């Protein structure tokens, strides 16, 4: 059960990271700092999102 909850938390954190990355992408200027922030939030969001999905998929329910 704890793994399932941790998977949900990771998935939500990943989705938030991807949303923040998209917001920075839409509101960014032309500076290199903006591109670095977009890359960092996007990559971390993808890692968290897919690891959370994988953890929820691999965890079996013991109902």
What are the extents of the domains in the chain? Answer: 2-58
14-55 residue pLDDT tens: 999 999 999 988 887 777 777 888 899 999 999 999 999 999
Cα separation of 52 and 30, whole Å? 33
Q: Which two tokens stand for residue 12?
A: 């939500």
Q: Which two tokens stand for residue 33?
A: 């700092």
Please report where in the chains the tokens 């917001």 appear, as a residue.
23
pTM for the whole structure: 0.82
Q: Find, among 11, 15, 13, the residue nearest to 55 by Cα.
A: 11
Cα separation of 44 and 10, whole Å? 11
Cβ neighbours around 22 below 10 Å, total: 14
């Amino acid at each position: 059960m704890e793994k399932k909850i941790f998977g949900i938390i990771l998935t939500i954190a990943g989705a938030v990271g991807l949303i923040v990355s998209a917001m920075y992408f839409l509101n960014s200027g032309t500076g290199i700092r903006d591109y670095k922030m977009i890359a960092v939030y996007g990559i971390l969001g993808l890692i968290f999102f897919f690891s959370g999905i994988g953890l929820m998929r691999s965890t079996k329910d013991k109902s």
